[in-house]
Structure 1
Amino acid sequence: MVSSSYAAGVISQLEDAQDVGFSHVVFELYADDRTMQPHHWQVFETMGAAQEQRQALADKGGWSGHDDRHIYCWPIDRLLEELQTTHSLNNRQAMNLNNLEDIKKEVANLGFSQQSIDQLEPQMRTGTGYFNVREQLPGDNGLPVDLTLHLRKSNESEYYNLNKFEAVAGKIPPVVPGQQYMVISENKDNPERPLVKAFDSGYEAIEFFKKQKGNSELAIGESPEAKQNLASKEQGTVNYVNNDFKQAYFGSAVSQTFYVQKGVGFSAQQAANMVQGRTVHRDNMLNPNSGETYRAWINLDQGIPKDDHGNYKLKQMNDPNFGFDLDKTLNKFKIKELADPAQKAAIVQGIKNGDRIEVTVTGKDNKEQKVLLEAQPRYKTMDFYSGKGDKLKRELFQKAPSQNLDLGKDRGKSKDKGEDMGMSI
């Protein structure tokens, strides 16, 4: 296949030559990579004239005088077809590679792992119209949160778009390395060889199993031959659920679709925390009416039914208007790490992601202990948990109220000052 870095210009000139009656072209190619230079070709009105020129050039080593060149005589139509095909493929490859880099950057900015990023290229190179990339993040009590990126190719171009990802949290235990969830169904065409569908996600395996109409089995293991039965159906009716798996099977998972606009949206970690019932902070929420960004604490309102798209409504507490001051709230408690600026910054960032952060607190008995800290912006306070997830009384870790002997004397002035400040906001 003929190629040229100047293909667009050469194509245009050859088309012009055709328009005025030229039919054949003599050109020179590099022997090793079949690359054509823009000044190493010449057009002719007849094939005979073109062949004479080809022979003359071949005798003297072409335009360049080098023996690593080959001289050809082709109809212009043929060379145009070669150059147009190559030029189109090169443009498509460049477009896809640019698109790949853009998608990689978006996925990285959302906080997904390198493992997920590495899955993008082989999927995009297949040219499939739609594909998923799955990832798991650790959740509360050792139960994972499943994340699924949805990528779709545009109907108008070769570009892929990342518009959304889904997060699911529930009671499904993770698989150990080497194992997988599987649904084993009867094969009516060949009863000796049942149908086996494997799943990385326990949530998807359960949903698929629940839709089966005939005899089927939900299992976990390395293979159908080395499996543990979790549940089974006979003629579409569940007749067995493993006692240790009942909470996972009958419990309801919490799922939410998070939408992304040009790589901007809730991060993977924020999404995982939100489906576990926690609140996150964003400083780049977009007002669709004005186009301006604003800051807010946000969680999923699980107290009302989902919308028609299967999503919970986002409950937003604008910052600072709602009145939750994270820095002041943290300083109400005896948290050792707050004395170190770097550790404090890490705690603040983790809290804004919705994480439960391990900190060292001092209790009423003046003894230090490790606890988990979580923000409760709705109630303008913090919650504390043991390592096992048991909620602890926050009063145990509060600082004593500060004493100010001049408080009463200056109370009137303070009130006036507060009112003035309120009016100026």
Structure 2
Amino acid sequence: MNLNNLEDRKDELRELGFSEKTIAQVEENMRQGVPKFKAYDSMPATDKGQIDYTIPFNKSSMSDYYYFSKFEVVHNKVDPLEPGQKYMVIKKGEDGKNIVKKLDNVNEAIDLFKKQDGNAELAIGKDAARKNMVANMENGKVNFVAKTFQGAYYANPIPQTFFVSEGQGLTKEQAGNLVQGRAVYKDDLLDSQGMVYKAWLMLNTDKPRDRYNNLKVNPYRDPNYGFNLTEALKQYNIKDLENPERAKEIHESIMNGNKVKVKAENKNGETLPVYITAAVRFRKINFSLENGKPEIREDFLKPEFQKNRNISGERLQQAEEKNQNEGLGIGR
């Protein structure tokens, strides 16, 4: 194994924000010389479920060098595993003893379980002795799926693939926020002529997936599209913005696609804890409560901006159509 190659891959994964646990998976497989393998990572979803990541690695046929050029991301409506837990597909062997296959990824666990015949069990736990069954199969037919697991079992979500080059591309955090439907800001994008530009990115869920089964990525160019995060935030009575350091944190977090908790004053003079995100398509800020219920954004406008609350629908539609035509397919 080439140690420089190992360090390069580890540095690239750290640059993209993947966990040390995932990096340890990669190092173990590279040291063992496994020619092709997958590494896994996850993070809690903002509202429900978790975001799962799959990173395929390949070893060069000409050398000891390993490489990866993409990772897959999917939003699963299932609670994150507790520390030390795994998904387990369990079935009896010919000798009557349990054959247990442990997996980190819920989609791969469900797929493997569905491929079984005879009697099998899909469970969550640290081992077969300490498990919680979430699905059961008898004589090749599934006869039980736990209510808390049905959303994940029947959803069959399609992953989105993001391509990277030498550790450059969308980070783990940014990709995870994109698949949750939020916008991410990038200032190092390249157009078809190789020119660098800045844009807010969003996945287009209104159009069919492409031939690689990916959603198209729409770029809302900055400043062309007309959404300025700083100016948009200034319109609202957000108390946290009064602190310059906190304001900087809020800006950076929203630009990475996060849902940020702040205190904001509504039209009745009440200061409420709310979450804010960038509503790029409408050049606005979205507000929601801790339970995910959306709030009326205009209720948090400063008085001097109330008169400008209605924007031109025609102007917005024209800008939207222009950006749809400039849609970006990341990596392809």
TM range (shorter): 0.7 to 0.9
Cα distance change on mapping 1:137 and 1:244 into 2, 3 Å: closer
Paired amino acid for 1:362: E
RMSD of equivalent CA atoms:
2.0
Separation of aligned partners in 1, 2:140 and 2:110: 14
**1:217 matched to which residue of 2?**
121
- 3-state secondary structure, aligned to 2:186: strand
- Of 234, 256, 265, the residue aligned with 2:169 is 265
Q: Is the 8 A contact 2:46 2:259 kept in 1?
A: no
Q: Is the 8 A contact 1:170 1:254 kept in 2?
A: no
Gap runs ≥5 in structure 2: 308-332
**2:197 matched to which residue of 1?**
294
- 3-state secondary structure, aligned to 1:108: helix
2:242 paired with 1:339: yes
Q: Is the 8 A contact 1:184 1:195 kept in 2?
A: yes
Q: How far does residue 225 in structure 1 lie from its aligned partner after superposition? A: 2.8
Paired amino acid for 1:255: P
2:85 paired with 1:179: yes
2:121 paired with 1:204: no
Q: Is the 8 A contact 1:254 1:276 kept in 2?
A: no
Separation of aligned partners in 2, 1:155 and 1:295: 38
Question: What does the per-residue CA deviation read over 1:177-234, in whole Å, with 9 as the maximum and x for residues that have no partner?
Answer: 33321111343x33x1232211122222112212223322111223223322211223
2:76 paired with 1:170: yes
**2:6 matched to which residue of 1?**
100
Separation of aligned partners in 1, 2:166 and 2:153: 37
Paired amino acid for 2:127: S
Separation of aligned partners in 1, 2:74 and 2:275: 23
Structure number with greater CO (CA < 8 Å, separation at least 6) is 2
Cα distance change on mapping 1:184 and 1:122 into 2, 3 Å: closer
Q: How far does residue 174 in structure 1 lie from its aligned partner after superposition? A: 1.7
Q: Is the 8 A contact 1:172 1:203 kept in 2?
A: no
- Of 146, 150, 158, the residue aligned with 1:246 is 150
- 3-state secondary structure, aligned to 2:134: strand
Q: How far does residue 264 in structure 1 lie from its aligned partner after superposition? A: 0.9
Q: Is the 8 A contact 2:236 2:301 kept in 1?
A: yes
**1:313 matched to which residue of 2?**
216
2:47 paired with 1:141: yes
Q: Is the 8 A contact 1:174 1:202 kept in 2?
A: no
Structure 2 counterparts to residues 46-61 of structure 1, below 5 A: none
Q: Is the 8 A contact 1:186 1:214 kept in 2?
A: no
- Of 16, 32, 48, the residue aligned with 1:126 is 32
Q: Is the 8 A contact 1:376 1:383 kept in 2?
A: yes
TM-score by length of 2: 0.86
**1:355 matched to which residue of 2?**
258
- 3-state secondary structure, aligned to 1:115: helix
Q: Is the 8 A contact 2:48 2:78 kept in 1?
A: no
**2:21 matched to which residue of 1?**
115
- Of 370, 385, 406, the residue aligned with 2:288 is 385
2:188 paired with 1:284: yes
Separation of aligned partners in 2, 1:255 and 1:402: 41
Q: How far does residue 365 in structure 1 lie from its aligned partner after superposition? A: 2.2
Q: How far does residue 136 in structure 1 lie from its aligned partner after superposition? A: 1.4
2:287 paired with 1:375: no
- Displaced runs of 4 or more, over 4 A: none
- Of 215, 222, 229, the residue aligned with 1:326 is 229
Q: How far does residue 142 in structure 1 lie from its aligned partner after superposition? A: 5.0
Separation of aligned partners in 1, 2:85 and 2:67: 32
**1:232 matched to which residue of 2?**
136
Q: How far does residue 170 in structure 1 lie from its aligned partner after superposition? A: 1.9
Separation of aligned partners in 2, 1:127 and 1:396: 59
- 3-state secondary structure, aligned to 2:198: strand
Question: What does the per-residue CA deviation read over 1:284-318, in whole Å, with 9 as the maximum and x for residues that have no partner?
Answer: 1122x322221111111122332222211112211
Structure 2 counterparts to residues 23-38 of structure 1, below 5 A: none
Q: Is the 8 A contact 1:279 1:377 kept in 2?
A: yes
Q: Is the 8 A contact 2:56 2:71 kept in 1?
A: yes
Question: What does the per-residue CA deviation read over 1:343-382, in whole Å, with 9 as the maximum and x for residues that have no partner?
Answer: 1111111111110011110112222221111111011111
Q: How far does residue 401 in structure 1 lie from its aligned partner after superposition? A: 2.4
Paired amino acid for 1:392: E
Paired amino acid for 1:302: T
Count of residue correspondences: 307
Cα distance change on mapping 1:324 and 1:175 into 2, 3 Å: same
**1:275 matched to which residue of 2?**
179
Sequence identity (%): 39
Cα distance change on mapping 1:263 and 1:182 into 2, 3 Å: same
Separation of aligned partners in 2, 1:222 and 1:117: 21
- Of 65, 69, 80, the residue aligned with 1:159 is 65
Q: How far does residue 158 in structure 1 lie from its aligned partner after superposition? A: 1.8
Gap runs ≥5 in structure 1: 1-92, 405-425
**1:194 matched to which residue of 2?**
98
Paired amino acid for 2:189: M
Question: What does the per-residue CA deviation read over 1:223-252, in whole Å, with 9 as the maximum and x for residues that have no partner?
Answer: 223322211223332221122322222224
